[in-house]
Amino acid sequence: MTTVTPTVGLASRHQVVRDFVGYFPRLLKWQVPVTAAALGVALLLWKQSGVESTTNAVWLLRAVVVVMTAGSIFLLDDASANMSEPVATPLRFRTGVRLAAMTAAIAVGYVPAIALVAGRALIRGAWFGVLIEAATFATVAVAVSLWLQRRRGVAEPGQYGAMSVVLTFLAAHAVGARWPMLALPSSDWTAAHWRWAALLLVAGAAILVNLRDPAAAPWRSALRRG
């Protein structure tokens, strides 16, 4: 009688992680982010030659940011959740890989936009303010997507995440009369971006809550054992 020795149990954690990372790109939905990247770059190339003012430059950057963020959030879709969850890698690691891919997808549009628009000295230091806006749009979308995945069992929340980007933009525009959000460098710029930073921190805290691995012990239990 031949004895078969199980190899999965003997595999080191590092080997499991390496195998998982190698397979991970196949789990990502690249179609929508690639389309968004193409649209963002096309918009940039189409409009950048006609940008002659700081106002136009800032709004062009915002348009690229919204398009890229709404498209890249689909990288968090995880139809294979039932297969990947049992893998010996922490939830934060698996999500972190997706977030890294999402960040890279947004950068595909934002970095060339900065290079072209800022290179013409139209926005000077205003690019950093738009970067805060971009980070906030992305963080809100990620927070919504992770909440739907973890709390509502929605494996592919990309469409809702993209919708949250649009709704955040519309909400920022709607409250502009009382609390300017989509400001210009000539007026309310600093105050507006303090508001963006506050929203960024709230959304970031929501992400951390939803990144907690359900297998992890509650912190109170951990303290008692300690």
For residue 170, the model assigns a pLDDT of 95
Tens of pLDDT along 57-70? 888 889 888 998 99
For residue 81, the model assigns a pLDDT of 55
Return the half-sphere exposure (C-beta side, CA atoms, 13 A cut-off) of residue 106.
Answer: 27
Would you mind telling me the total number of residues written for the chain in this entry?
226
For the chain, how many helices (H) and strands (E)? 9, 0
Classify residue 15: in a domain, yes or no: no
Classify residue 100: in a domain, yes or no: yes
Tens of pLDDT along 116-160? 766 655 666 677 888 899 999 999 999 999 999 888 888 889 899
Q: Residue 109 belongs to what domain range?
A: 20-215
Rounded Cα distance between 205 and 198, Å, is: 11
Classify residue 220: in a domain, yes or no: no
Structure tokens belonging to residue 12: 């080191």
Classify residue 85: in a domain, yes or no: yes
pLDDT band (50, 70, 90) for residue 6: very low
Q: In the predicted model, is pLDDT for residue 171 greater than 60?
A: yes
pTM: 0.79
| Across 27-44, average pLDDT | 82
Classify residue 10: in a domain, yes or no: no
Q: How many domains does the chain have?
A: 1
By the 8 A CB rule, do 63 and 45 touch? no
Of 48-52, 86-90, 183-187, the range with the lowest mean pLDDT is 86-90
Structure tokens belonging to residue 68: 């890229």
Rounded Cα distance between 124 and 121, Å, is: 5
